Amino acid sequence: MGTYRVMRQDDNGNRYLVAKGLTREEAERQAAQFEARGHKQLYWVEAEAA
């Protein structure tokens, strides 16, 4: 069972690490919270490298 991180991409194509070391459920919940707040950036969850 690995860990996951939340990433963000802004309007200029820059990518940022938002959070890391999360379970998949925690990461999905956090990404959904950011999107629900109306942020205009793209958020996604990805597995961290082992």
How confident is the model over 1-49, as pLDDT tens digits?
699 999 999 888 999 999 999 999 999 999 999 888 866 789 999 999 8
| Cα–Cα distance list, 31 to 13, 26 (Å) | 18, 9
pTM here is 0.86
Q: How far is CA 38 from the centre of its chain?
A: 15
- Supply the pLDDT for residue 41: 85
Band of residue 50 on the pLDDT scale cut at 50, 70, 90:
confident
CB atoms under 10 Å from CB of 45, counted, come to 20
**Element of type H or E holding 28:** helix 24-36
CB atoms within 10 A of CB 48: 13
Q: Please, are residues 4 and 38 in contact by the beta-carbon 8 Å criterion?
A: no
